[in-house]
Amino acid sequence: MVIKINFLSLFLCLIFLFSLSLAKTPTRPRAFLLPVTKDASTKQYVTTIDQRTPLVPIKLTIDLGQRFLWVDCEKGYVSSSYKPVPCGSIPCKRSFSGACVESCIGPPSPGCNNNTCSHIPYNPFIRTSTGGELAQDVVSLQSTDGSNPRKYLSTTNGVVFDCAPHSLLQGLAKGVKGILGLGNGYVGFPTQLANAFSIPRKFAICLTSSTTSRGAIFFGDSPYVFLPAGIDFSKRLVYTPLLKNPVSTSGSYFEGEPSTDYFIGVTSIKIHSIAVPINTTLLNITKDGKGGTKISTVEPYTKLETSIYNALTKAFVSALLNVPTVKPVAPFQVCYNKTSLGSNQVGPGVPPIELVLRNKNATTYTSWFIWGANSMVAVNNDVVCFGFVDGGVEFEPTTSIVIGTHQIEDNLLQFDIANKRLGFTSSLLFDEITCANFNFTTKA
């Protein structure tokens, strides 16, 4: 009994100390911000984070579904705060690593340490992976109130990433030193930030279609306010569940790892409210991880399994029956003279593609409309093409629909990992806003 009372008073005392220390620190940020640009020559989406001690800006290509952040540790990695992740540790286990480097030949250096957890960084642009040690280092980010970046920077030493050889940078945009994996898993950057900074496990992306302006990624909880009207798009989100795929859909993985890609439940595709006749079995995720619909930032155009591609293209062409097609421009198969389609606020004047999505409540559905600006691609001044591509035969065994970047530009997407749901806005162009309308002027 006496012991119990002592414990209780100790506990109260700790609470008291804790609240005192909280009162002294400035308000802890609830959200962080990264600017994103579209690289003109590769069409990759690129951002910069500050990493290491002393901090260095590191340019990275964004891969929405990749399991973790990986960087080139072979050339120019200098940091006094670099820490290898030991074999058997919690981050190692939770990363689904199946390898341990007991002894690295050569002097100890970032990427070469004994008894270190090893993983497989993957470059989706050259479809190549290597082995590399898992490590932790300092990351510093700019906080946001959802309207502007804040002056206040936050730094943590706890962000897990993987080390890659210099050769894995092939095919990445100029100056890029690795890939920022925003995947849905423990070692994914959003979950690492959430754990390091005690912010909610959610993030939102707004990608620009232009290569000369910046879009934004928000981590944590904040409004998403865009100029000029100051509309907060967090209030406009419509939700659909994020689905689990039990088997990794990465180009390389250890057995037993679930997919870190973001899957959603497309149940049908409609044009003018009429369902396109497709084999709906392909829309479900099978026990061995095949089929279904995921979102990607490494595919420039939505990739469809061949039979879905053919059916959708046919339905689209018949919906535009009176409009003549012109000679197609690869990789597209259906193109039109821009003048003959006309245009409206949300791009070329074509019927929207309606993705009918599952709700948490299995008896109701939510629709994501893909309007002209997102369905059509201008291949030159005169010609616009139906911006979907055939996934081909070799593609058939994996994901049936991979929604690419052209289809999500100037839309705001929120990946709410904690609540297992995707929030989306459809085209911001309805409000005469693009993802470049975030105010990047720093506020105190």
Ligand X SMILES: *[C@@H]1O[C@H](CO)[C@@H](O)[C@H](O)[C@H]1NC(C)=O
Of 19, 27, 212, 361, which lies in the binding site for ligand X, with binding defined by CB under 6 A?
A: 361
Restricted to residues 48-107, the positions that interact with ligand X (CB under 6 A) are 103-104, 106
For residue 442, what are the contacts with CB-CB under 8 A and spacing of at least 6?
142, 148, 149, 150, 151
Measured from the CB atom, is 4 or 107 closer to ligand X? Answer: 107
Stretch that binds ligand X, among 9-17, 277-285, 414-422, 426-434 (CB under 6 A): 277-285
**87 C-beta neighbours (distance < 10 Å), count:** 18
Asked if residue 397 binds ligand X (CB under 6 A), the reply is no
Measured from the CB atom, is 21 or 281 closer to ligand X? Answer: 281
Measured from the CB atom, is 9 or 279 closer to ligand X? Answer: 279
Smallest separation (angstroms) from ligand X to the CB of 440: 8
- Looking up tokens 């005469």 gives 432
Smallest separation (angstroms) from ligand X to the CB of 59: 25
Distance CA 413, CA 411 (A): 6
Measured from the CB atom, is 252 or 359 closer to ligand X? Answer: 359
* Amino acid occupying residue 442: T
Whether the Cβ atoms of residue 135 and residue 23 lie closer than 8 Å to each other? no
Measured from the CB atom, is 5 or 105 closer to ligand X? Answer: 105
Using CA atoms, how far residue 34 sits from 31, 62, 415, in Å, is 10, 11, 15
Smallest separation (angstroms) from ligand X to the CB of 259: 17
Of 339, 345, 397, 430, which lies in the binding site for ligand X, with binding defined by CB under 6 A?
A: 339
Classify residue 67 by its DSSP letter: S
> For ligand X, what does the binding mask look like between residues 423 and 442, x meaning CB under 6 A?
----------------x-x-
**99 C-beta neighbours (distance < 10 Å), count:** 15
* Amino acid occupying residue 210: S
HSE toward the beta carbon, residue 437, CA cutoff 13 A = 21
Spatial CA neighbour of 233 closest among 437, 27, 29, 440? 437
Asked if residue 378 binds ligand X (CB under 6 A), the reply is no
Asked if residue 381 binds ligand X (CB under 6 A), the reply is no
With H, G, I as helix, E, B as strand and everything else as coil, classify residue 271. strand
Strand partners, 365: 358
Stretch that binds ligand X, among 13-21, 26-34, 359-367, 407-415 (CB under 6 A): 359-367
Distance CA 43, CA 117 (A): 33
Asked if residue 244 binds ligand X (CB under 6 A), the reply is no
Measured from the CB atom, is 273 or 364 closer to ligand X? Answer: 364
What backbone phi and psi angles, to 5 degrees, belong to 151?
A: -65, -35
**386 C-beta neighbours (distance < 10 Å), count:** 23
Asked if residue 279 binds ligand X (CB under 6 A), the reply is yes
Smallest separation (angstroms) from ligand X to the CB of 119: 18
Asked if residue 229 binds ligand X (CB under 6 A), the reply is no
Q: How far apart are the first and last CA of the chain?
A: 52
Of 337, 345, 392, 430, which lies in the binding site for ligand X, with binding defined by CB under 6 A?
A: 337
Asked if residue 277 binds ligand X (CB under 6 A), the reply is no
Binding site residues, ligand X, CB under 6 A: 103-104, 106, 108, 112-114, 148, 227, 279-282, 284, 326, 337, 339, 361, 363-364, 382-383, 439, 441, 443
